[in-house]
Amino acid sequence: MEQINYWDIMTGSIGENLFIIIAAVFAVTFLAVSVILAWIIHKDFESDGGKNLKNKMYYLLDIIYTLFVTIISIFPLLGMFGTVAALLSLDMSGDLSEIKNNFFFALTSTAWGIIFSIGGKIINALCQPFIENQIARAKKILKK
């Protein structure tokens, strides 16, 4: 029986899942901007208790961080979409071994969606307390 190197197939298929890569780039960008804005708000609180806090900065942080969390949650859906699209394009009239390989290739889209979602959830768990604390602090100051 032929040994299949699944990791090679997975890494070779990531280029076919362009929409997942694009979503990952957006997620990383939104996370980076969220951390930078949260750090600016944090430094503002350290220097003058948040007196110079800009209303726009707080709302921008809240929106961008929400977008980051949303993108993380849609990665599995993007993976399923990629799998369905790949399965619909399979040529079932071909050789059975080719159909089997293409079927596995189609399923890699779901795997990448799950991998990116898990990675995003772990990163979010590390960043969430700091970012949400800055959002809460800013909201409290701006309500005064």
Asked if the structure places residue 3 within a domain, the reply is no
pLDDT < 50 regions, the chain: none
pLDDT at 119: 95
Share of the chain above pLDDT 70, in %: 90
Residue 6 domain flag: no
Q: Is residue 29 part of a domain?
A: yes
Does residue 7 lie in a domain region? no
Q: Residue 84: CB partners within 8 Å, gap ≥ 6? A: none
Q: Looking at the 3D structure of the chain, how many domains does it have?
A: 1
Residues contacting residue 123 through CB under 8 Å, at least 6 positions apart: 31
Residue 60 lies in a domain: yes
Q: pLDDT at position 10, please?
A: 72
Residue 41 domain boundaries: 14-143
| Cα–Cα distance, 49 to 38 (Å, whole number) | 14
Q: 24 lies in a domain?
A: yes
